[in-house]
Structure 1
Amino acid sequence: MPKRAKMEPSKIAWPDVEVGDWSGEFAKRPSGSIGQHIQPGPPPMSVEFTYLIVGAVVLSPRTKMRWPAAVSFWVRTPFTPERVEAGFMFKSENIPSFNLGLEVTRQQFTETAWLFKEKLLNNLHFTVGQGRDDHWPITSWGASFEL
Structure 2
Amino acid sequence: MAEIPSTARARPVPPGAAGMPRQLSTRDLVTELARKASQLARKEVELAKSELRADLKTEISMASGLGIAGVCALLTVAMLLVALVLGLAEAGVWSGWLGALIVAAVVLAIGTVAGLVGWARRVRTPLAATRRTLQDDLRFAKERIT
- TM-score past 0.5 threshold: no
Higher relative contact order by CA 8 Å / sep ≥ 6: 1 or 2? Answer: 2
Q: When you count strand as a share of all residues, which structure comes out higher?
A: 1
Relative to the length of structure 2, the TM-score reads 0.18
Q: When you count helix as a share of all residues, which structure comes out higher?
A: 2
Larger radius of gyration: 2
